[in-house]
Amino acid sequence: MANFETQIQESQTQVAEAQSKISELTSRIEMARNKMAEGTDISVDIENASLEDVHAHTELMNANIAELIMGLDDVTTAFSKDFDEMRSKTGMESLIGFFSKAKADSMRQERMRTASIDDKLQDLIGKSDVIMKLLEGQLNVLNEQKISVEQNLSVTLDDREATVGALEALKAEILKMDPKIIELENKISVEQDAAARTKLETELAGLNGKYNEMVQSEQVQLAKSQTLERYIEKGKTWIDSLQNQAATQMVLINKLQTDTKQRVVLYDALSKSLKTAQQQDVAHRINEIGVQTDQEAQSAMAAIGSATNARMADMLEAHEDHMVFAREVLEQKAKADERFVRRFQEIVKKHDSNQYGAE
């Protein structure tokens, strides 16, 4: 993870840019809503509020974060090799063992006794926390934007419902006027009296004027309804996008949280294994001492053996609880990994083949 800091900086930049693009897109939709309320055409605003740029950028951002998470997995796997090496003698211990086996064994036992996994564990947990903050920050922004768009959409849905209602009412009124106009036209066609005919024509002109106003109003309401519909569709698409982006963040967060649990379990198991190996070495040395016939040494050995048996019994009892917990965490990790692979198949493929940067 030599380039971890560089990758984190890249991810931070990508997250900040993604949040800016997401906020800008939500703002465009909100501005369109305000223009629409003023009666201004919003088709251009809506068409410009394109999702492609946001999607392309968030995919790049998530891919980079996914690689970071998989990098932590690689480091975790390498740690088991480190612990295997800790069990073996160092070059210095082997050299000293050439002159004094007892001194070399003593050095090895002391090294194993004081061996600590805390630094490595805390380093990995620290790296996980850094990534987690990026993911949680992005998830919070997505949820905030989603709430904002949903509120706007709710108002718009009410507006469209009212507009459609008004449009239907206008259509009904227009249909009612048709028979009246036809009736007047028929009366005029057969009316012989000039005064009566003039009165009917005046009435027809008034009715036609009202009819034309209503038809014009119908066209306005229809255009408004279509505009609202376009806005609603764009809003729904954006909400779907925000939900999908949030789901991806949650998959990454879940994997990271589960991985952290699994690392704690793994380190605990490796640490116990290391300490047990050291205890077994001590037990073998006690057995070698046991060949001495000194009564006091035999009594001391018996006391040590009794204490060792009690300690081993405690370890065996604790081991069962540990294995139950470890099994649960491993099951959780398997599920988290499965969800992760479904979302990031291409990244996993590149990771496994070591083809980073390939198209």
In eight-state DSSP terms, residue 294 is -
Domain count, the chain: 1
335-342, Cβ contacts within 8 angstroms, sequence gap of 24 or more: 335/258, 336/251, 336/254, 336/255, 336/257, 336/258, 336/259, 337/255, 339/251, 339/254, 339/255, 340/66, 340/69, 340/251, 340/252, 340/255
Task: Examine residue 170 and state whether it is found in any structural domain, yes or no.
Answer: no
Could you list the residue range(s) of the whole structural domain that residue 289 is in?
4-154+237-353
Q: What is the pLDDT of residues 268-312, one digit of tens each?
A: 766 666 666 555 555 555 555 444 444 444 454 444 445 444 444
Q: What is the pLDDT of residues 94-150, one digit of tens each?
A: 777 777 777 777 776 676 666 666 677 778 888 888 889 999 999 999 999 999 889
Task: With a cut of 80, say whether residue 27 has pLDDT above it.
Answer: yes
Indicate the length of the chain as a whole number.
359
Q: Are 150 and 239 in contact (CB under 8 A)?
A: yes
Task: Examine residue 208 and state whether it is found in any structural domain, yes or no.
Answer: no
Task: Examine residue 27 and state whether it is found in any structural domain, yes or no.
Answer: yes
Task: Examine residue 173 and state whether it is found in any structural domain, yes or no.
Answer: no
- CA-based nearest residue to 149, from 272, 30, 66, 57: 30
Residue 313 one-letter amino acid: A
**pLDDT score for 147:** 92
Task: Examine residue 333 and state whether it is found in any structural domain, yes or no.
Answer: yes
Specify whether the backbone of 349 is left (phi greater than 0), alpha (psi in -120 to 50) or beta: alpha
**Alpha helices in 49-193, H assignment, sequence order:** 52-87, 91-99, 101-114, 118-190
Q: What is the pLDDT of residues 28-53, one digit of tens each?
A: 888 877 777 666 666 545 555 467 77
Task: Examine residue 18 and state whether it is found in any structural domain, yes or no.
Answer: yes
Task: Examine residue 145 and state whether it is found in any structural domain, yes or no.
Answer: yes
Task: Examine residue 141 and state whether it is found in any structural domain, yes or no.
Answer: yes
Cβ neighbours, 10 Å, residue 131: 21
